[in-house]
Amino acid sequence: MMKKNYEFLEHTADIGIRVKAKDLKALFKNIALAMFDVMAKRNSDLSPQSSKLKKIIIKQRAGSLEELLVNWLNELLSLSAVKESIFTDFNITKLDNDNLEAEVFGEDIKNYKLNTEIKAATYHQLKIEEKDTGWQAEIIFDV
Amino acid sequence: MSDIWQGPLEKLNDYCWRIPKSYKPGMRVAGIIYADERLLKDIRQDKAPEQVANVAFLPGIVNASLAMPDIHWGYGFCIGGVAATDPEEGGVISPAGVGYDINCGVRLIKTNFQYEEIKGRIKDLIYVLFSDVPSGVGSKGEIRVSEREEREILVKGAKWAVEKGYGTEEDLECTEEYGAMPGADPLAVSQRAYERGKAQSGTLGSGNHFLEIQVIDQIYDSKLCDEFGLTLGQITIMIHSGSRGLGYQICDDYTRNMIHCLSKYNINVPDRQLSCAPVNSSEGKAYFSAMKCAANYAWANRQCLMYLTRRAFEKVFGISWEKMGMKLIYDVAHNIAKLEKHIINGKEKTLCVHRKGATRAFGPGHPALPPRYKKTGQPVIIPGDMGRNSYLLVGTQKAMEETFGSTCHGAGRIKSRTAATKSIDADALLRELESKGIIVKASGKATIVEEAPQAYKDVNEVVDVVHKAGISKRVCRMRPLGVIKG
């Protein structure tokens, strides 16, 4: 099981998280990992990676880094629903202010117990900041 | 809890408070919150009042940015918000004023049963309903449709279900908009949204969605109860669901698109989640057409859920649903935008009314009401949390004058899901509910804890405010006997 790499923020109706990482690519990856960790837990009786992971290529364009993050997460949520998969690994191959390219790896949703349905990632109080030690983001999900 | 909101709230009367337009430069109108002093303390606990002020920035907003007593912190709009804009004055439409779960709503069904007659069968009913009505995260239904049929659902709404044999004409008459908004354009819906919605017709979903067996435990207006055919001790059923993945995808698609409309149309809002476009722009029209598709899908969904519920009752009791008197009282949307006619300064105007966690509450005589409810006013259904009560109210003329014919939609959250998860034990809660005579079946314990009664305001206090403020009128109160949670 993944060690939690995020903390919860207080929000009355929805779920907010704060995520840290050494660089921007790792930040985008960690937020995606955290989002799927909130959504689902892998069935404990399964051996690790007992099924083959499906690879999907994602390309996103946006007008700003914030927009790119929201689009990235919402694209993952949407694909997760359509492909009936939980994404567990992310290889971000390209990331600048307005472009993202990534390979994402998913496993059949049947191997998971679903806890929380996340409808979408929102812009509300969204923060992406560069700190002395790396990058930090805060984001609120509509659940 | 987050910091207490320190902004100005001027008392207009015991149930009405104003955030003056001067609070923030950029507000076009004042904010008005319906609450009493007790509820106001809760309301100040989070950022919902700030969001009421933010909504007042929207171009073309008319009268005031309104909030109902169940208001709580959302994203962009607060939950429990009502905002009307005038398209002729550059008024905008905002996906955030509707939400991701487009046409999330509730329906109330009556039965001929008295509690005393079937109190020993509630458990059976809940178990059959739990197995026959698909629920849970990403749940998929047994009512499978082709893509061509899905397009038909988006246009016809609940009428599609009735044509398939999942209901009657009378059900449509007892549904807001008769179960379908005209002008839904399936071409405004992305391929991805279709795919996301495909397998989910006739599913309850998760989170705060539920199916509940209830008993009427308090009558407030016996004349109105007679009109609706409701008596003390009678069994009712409430269904709370929405447009599922299809609605989320449509909201996401158009929020993405409308972020760019803020600069294109020179719109200044303090939160990007309030992205919007003029109602009469190509972007605004496209969103509205797509939103109607999701709204119609949700009405079809709740119609299918009612069909499955009637069938489950037939299975348990071995008699037809008609013989059990399982008639729909009404179905209301509480996340939606509509073009409606309202009187503003003595002149009739067509406005774009956003209700985000708010219910339409049209008064007696309104042309949108079916003949059977012309005299009573529109039935308004207010679900509470699973441990307390739910209500049937009716709309009033005062709501037409003050709130664009709108009222509250539920109890409103008070405790975050994370705080609830930390402080509440699922098994202890289930035992406590069972001792109160409430059986709960859920697909996961996480939902039970997140949706615990302690996480909500007391719906009785919320309804007390809308009743005393006169924006709707109490008819009767129900208490839960059995609950199915997604």
CB B9 within 8 A of CB B18: yes
What is the pLDDT averaged over residues A28-40?
Answer: 95
Give the model's pLDDT for residue B138. Answer: 58
Q: How far is A122 from chain B (nearest CA, A)?
A: 7
What does pLDDT average to over chain B?
93
Q: Is the CB of B46 less than 8 angstroms away from the CB of A12?
A: yes
Q: Is residue A5 part of a domain?
A: no
> What pLDDT score does A12 carry?
75
B258 against B442, higher pLDDT: B258
CA distance B186 to B75: 27
Chain A positions in Cβ-Cβ contact with residue B446 (cut-off 8 Å): 115-116
pLDDT band, residue A51 (cuts 50/70/90): low
Instruction: Note whether ipTM > 0.85 here.
Output: yes
Per-residue CA distances from B179 to A99, B298, B333 (Å): 42, 9, 10
Radius of gyration of chain B (CA): 21
User: Which has the closest alpha carbon to B203: B134, B153, B149?
Assistant: B134
In a domain, A21, yes or no: yes
B416 contact residues in A (CB cutoff 8 A): 10-13, 15
Residue B362 DSSP class? P
Could you give the angle at which helices B282-317 and B147-156 cross, rounded to 10 degrees?
100
Strand partners for A7: A18
**pLDDT tens digit string along A104-134?**
999 999 899 888 889 999 999 999 999 998 9
The pLDDT, as a whole number, for residue A123 is 92
Amino acid at A14: D
Give residue A44's pLDDT. 82
Please check the confidence at residue B252 and state whether its pLDDT lies above 90: yes
**Partner-chain residue, chosen from B73, B252, B255, that has the shortest CB–CB distance to A11:** B73
Q: Which residues pair with B212 in a beta bridge?
A: B238, B483
Task: Say yes or no for a CB contact (<8 Å) between A12 and B414.
Answer: yes
CA B440 to chain centre: 22
pLDDT band at B463 (very low <50, low <70, confident <90, very high): very high
Which chain A residues are closer than 8 Å to B417 by Cβ?
A: 13-15, 116, 143
pLDDT reported for residue A57: 97
pLDDT at position B201, please?
62
Burial B224-250 (b: 16+ CB within 10 A, else e): bbebbebeeebbbbbbbbbbbbbbbbb
For residue B185, is pLDDT > 70? yes
CA-to-CA distance for B417 and B44, rounded, in angstroms?
18
Q: Which CATH class is domain B10-485?
A: alpha beta
Q: Which residues pair with B216 in a beta bridge?
A: B478
Residue B141's pLDDT is: 66
Residue A8 lies in a domain: no
Task: Give B450's contacts in chain A (Cβ within 8 Å).
Answer: 116
pLDDT in tens, B217-226: 999 999 999 9
CA distance A79 to B249: 11
DSSP A136: E
Q: In this model, does residue B465 exceed pLDDT 80?
A: yes
How many cross-chain Cβ pairs, A to B, lie less than 8 Å apart? 108
Average pLDDT for residues B85-99, to the nearest whole number?
A: 97
Chain A: nearest CA to B118, how far in angstroms?
Answer: 33
Tell me which amino acid residue A16 is.
G
Ramachandran angles phi, psi of B241, nearest 5°: -155, 180
pLDDT of the residue at A49: 65
Kindly report the pTM of this predicted structure. Answer: 0.94
Q: Using the structure block, give the residue that is written with the tokens 């055919």.
A: B229
Return the closest-CA partner of residue B316 out of B133, B64, B142, B126. B126
* Residue B224 neighbours by CB under 8 Å, 6+ apart: B376, B394, B473, B475
- Beta-strand relationship, B379-382 and B390-395: antiparallel
Q: Measured between CB atoms, does A98 come within 8 Å of chain B?
A: no
Distance CA B448, CA B440 (A): 8
Q: C-alpha distances in angstroms, A5 versus A91, B223, B378?
A: 17, 59, 50
One-letter amino acid of B370: P
Query: pLDDT band for position A71 (50/70/90)?
Result: very high
Per the structure, the complete domain to which residue A55 belongs is given by: 16-42+51-142
| Spatial distance between the Cα atoms of B333 and B173, rounded to a whole number of angstroms | 15
- pLDDT score at B450: 85
**A22 lies within 8 A of chain B by CB:** no
A43 touches chain B (CB under 8 A): no
Residues of B177-198 as b/e, b for ≥16 C-beta within 10 angstroms? bbbbbeebebebbeebbbbbbb
- CATH number, residue A79: 3.55.10.10
Cβ separation A117–B416 shorter than 8 A: no
User: At a CB cut-off of 8 Å and minimum separation 6, what does A123 contact?
Assistant: A66, A70, B75, B76, B255, B259, B271, B272, B273, B275
Position B1 pLDDT exceeds 50: no
Contact: A114, B444; criterion CB under 8 Å: yes
For B117, the 3-state DSSP assignment is helix
What separation in angstroms does the CA of B195 have from each of B5, B239, B291, B328, B367?
42, 25, 16, 30, 37
**Is A105 within a domain?**
yes
In this structure, which amino acid lies at residue B220? Y
**Residue A35 in contact with partner chain B when CB distance is under 8 A:** no
Among candidate residues B93, B97, B95, B61, the one with its CA nearest the CA of residue B77: B97
Least confident of B143-152, B171-180, B346-355, B456-465: B143-152
* pLDDT single digits (tens) B30-43: 999 999 999 999 99
Q: Is the pLDDT of residue A70 over 90?
A: yes
- List C-alpha distances in Å: B470 to A124, B14, B353, B394, B484: 33, 12, 20, 10, 33
Instruction: Tell me the C-alpha distance between B337 and B330, whole Å.
Output: 19
Question: What pLDDT sits at residue B199?
Answer: 67
pLDDT at A1: 41
* Pairing verdict, β B64-75 and B30-34: parallel
- Residues 6 or more apart from B431 whose CB is under 8 A from it? none
Query: Could you read off the pLDDT of B414-451 as tens digits, one per residue?
Result: 888 888 888 889 899 999 999 999 999 987 777 888 88
Reading the block at residue B486, the tokens are 């997604």
Q: Does the distance separating the beta carbons of B259 and A13 come in below 8 Å?
A: no
Provide, as residue numbers in chain A, all residues whose Cβ is less than 8 Å from the Cβ of B248.
77, 119-120
Contact state of B446 with A115 under an 8 Å Cβ cutoff: yes
CA distance B356 to B80: 6
Q: Is the Cβ of A8 closer than 8 Å to some Cβ of chain B?
A: yes
Tell whether A68 lies on the interface with B, counting CB pairs under 8 A.
no
Total number of domains constituting chain A? 1
If we measure between CA atoms, which residue out of A34, A41, A54 comes closest to residue A111? A41
Q: Is residue A121 part of a domain?
A: yes
* Run of H or E residues at A26: helix A24-39
B101: nearest CB among A11, A119, A123: A119
Percent of chain B with pLDDT over 70: 96
What residue in A sits closest to B1 (Cα-Cα)? A10
Residue A136 touches chain B, beta carbons under 8 Å: no
Catalytic amino acids of B?
409
